Amino acid sequence: MANLFSDNPDLAAQLDSVDLHDVVSLMENDFQGNDSDDFVFPAPSSLDDAMEFFAASLDLLGDISANVIAPHRQSVDREGTKLEDGVVTYAEGTRIAVEALSESGFMGAMLPRAYGGAGVPATIYMMMIELVSRADASMMTLFGYQDVGELIARFGTDEQRQEFLPGLASGDKIGSIVLSEPGAGSDLQAIKVKAFEDENGQWRLNGTKHFISNGCGDVLMVLARSEPKISNIFGLSLFVCPKSDAVKVIRVEDKMGLHGSPTCELFFDDAPVQLVGKRKAGLTSYVLENLAQARFSVAAQALGIAEEAYQRALEYANDRVQFGTKIIDFPAVRELLDKMSLAITSSRALLYDSIIWLDRKVQISEAIAHGRVAEDDIPAMKARQREAAKYSNLLSPLVKYAITEQAQQVCIDAQQVFGGLGFIRDTGMEQLVRDVRITTIYEGASQVQVSASLKFIMSDTLADLFDASEALPCPDDCDDIRSMIIENRRLYEQYRDAVSAKDSPQLAEAAARDLADIYSQVFGAWAQLRRVNGDAGRRAALRRYVVEAQAFATGRLNALQNGSYDSWLNESDT
């Protein structure tokens, strides 16, 4: 039988190469084994034990994804979701998928074991999202909203954990993050939905939210304005809202893709809710933390879609014969496939070398908060936390931008391999093109991600990581590649300095996409170099990646120096 994990050696290699020792040790309190014997998932006794559990879990999920979820992808796309009398109904294939994931414990993969979850780190969860998204991208917004439970686990009260987490972990309840409003998309400080306390001290919500993925969920995490006299980000608080008659689904959007995922407009009619965490800290302390992980989740979703598109195109190119020759033997087609493969493997290395920093940031914070760090060690641990936060604050938007844009191109190229058949619904290729399109838009469009990355790139936030990579011994037969990566870093520095010399914030914003591409390619190259391990195929692919990155950086630097962005210089700048 097919298995989307074991059939993908590159994804399996990521599990072998990622360094989870510090993350898992922090999560498991150095494997002291304090869990109850009644937990669904027992605590690992060592790192090796934990890694075996992760591998077995991914293998099982790969089986479910290939043989339960994927066969329904096209029927889910055609059936979609239905809204009748205020009730949203999922497609039959979606219900089958949720049932299979729930029975296997995956709907609570990230949640604490004490409440029925498996307690896996975010790095492993991203691999799970990639697998599920390859099978059916629309399932990601059901499977991928475990961060609702994570927010409650980290910032809620004991009573809230007891009330909500068991149902979310079992899959009996499904969550949704509720942020966007008609006048507040990426600009969350413009949120107007009102949160107020009634005469009995009960918090309630009133107002409209829209573009809410899985807004018909059972447990909604809602950002709302609790301080009517404070119009900025400090007037917002976070609330958990159980499904009730006071939460009305007004409509389900008719979308281009992800038809199995209902995107809802909601009206809160004085709906009863509970405050999560501290008042006025909803955006600054909780939602922004959640958005960092959400961006990585969308990158993993896009990567899964791209992998499916590439594998379908590769299979078709090997089967399709024209002029007496398999089309894969035509250089133009083979070149297209090679570019797609390189985009996927480079994106995968980029993702899993990045998400680990968010894991470190979160797990150090949790270990300190729960007294699992000795008093004398706290200053050093806080320094490590600040370092991890510095890196993840850049890598979250940068990786989301880089991977989703590449995934979109992979899907378009895969459709091209199919020729006219790629335009026909029966082949399923046009669905993958439609589904991947949203990944460059939601959880912050690419332009927003590039803008969010700019200040970190201009200050060379990853400089210490680059220095450390340059100091490491070079793998066999990779000296030339290593030298080119170092040269590409010099090209980044020249580009950054040229932008700085223009002394124009507008020009810097206009050139930000070039900077994001050049900087992410340097980071991605080091990530791939660590994974060569004597593999001639990986070495050849990386060499091509680095050569093309160098050509891109050189070309964009020449364009900048010759005035390609000078139209952004205003009179005061010149």
Q: Give pLDDT, residue 36.
A: 58
Q: How many CA atoms lie within 13 A of 115 on its CB side?
A: 26
Q: Which helix (H) or strand (E) segment is 103 a member of?
A: helix 92-103
pLDDT in tens, 174-183: 999 999 988 7
Q: How far apart are the first and last CA of the chain?
A: 66
Joined together, the tokens standing for residue 525 give: 């190259």
Q: Give pLDDT, residue 212.
A: 95
Closest CA to 565 of 509, 516, 481: 509
Joined together, the tokens standing for residue 374 give: 């000795």
Q: Give pLDDT, residue 149.
A: 95
Report yes or no on whether pTM surpasses 0.85: yes
Phi and psi angles of residue 117, each rounded to the nearest 5 degrees, phi first: -85, 180
Q: One digit per residue, pLDDT tens: the chain, 574 residues?
A: 899 999 999 999 999 999 999 999 999 988 886 665 567 788 899 999 999 999 999 999 999 999 999 999 999 999 999 999 999 999 999 999 999 999 999 999 999 999 999 999 999 999 999 999 999 999 998 998 899 999 999 999 999 999 999 999 999 999 999 999 887 667 787 889 999 999 999 999 999 999 999 999 999 999 999 998 898 889 999 999 999 999 999 999 999 999 999 999 999 999 999 999 999 999 988 998 899 999 999 999 999 999 999 999 999 999 999 999 999 999 999 999 999 999 999 999 999 999 999 999 999 999 999 999 999 999 999 999 999 999 999 999 999 999 999 999 999 999 999 999 999 999 999 999 999 999 999 999 999 999 999 999 999 999 999 999 999 988 778 999 999 999 999 999 999 999 999 999 999 999 999 999 999 999 999 999 999 988 999 999 999 999 999 999 999 999 999 999 999 987 445 4
Contacts of residues 504-507 at CB distance under 8 Å and 24 or more positions apart, as own/partner, are 504/568, 504/569, 504/570, 504/573, 506/568, 506/569, 506/570, 506/573, 507/565, 507/566, 507/568, 507/569, 507/573
pLDDT in tens, 32-75: 866 655 677 888 999 999 999 999 999 999 999 999 999 999 99
Q: Give pLDDT, residue 268.
A: 96
Joined together, the tokens standing for residue 14 give: 């990521």
- The Cα 445–Cα 185 span in angstroms is 10
Closest CA to 442 of 305, 241, 282, 297: 297
Q: Give pLDDT, residue 574.
A: 46
In the block, which residue shows the tokens 């093309």?
548
Q: Is the dihedral of CA 5, 11, 16, 21 positive or negative?
A: negative
Joined together, the tokens standing for residue 480 give: 């030339």
What's the angle, vertex CA 156, arms to CA 155 and CA 160, rounded to 5? 160
Query: Do 15 and 55 contact (CB within 8 A), yes or no?
Result: yes
Phi and psi angles of residue 203, each rounded to the nearest 5 degrees, phi first: -70, 140
Q: Give pLDDT, residue 474.
A: 86
Joined together, the tokens standing for residue 507 give: 């020009």
Phi and psi angles of residue 67, each rounded to the nearest 5 degrees, phi first: -110, -10
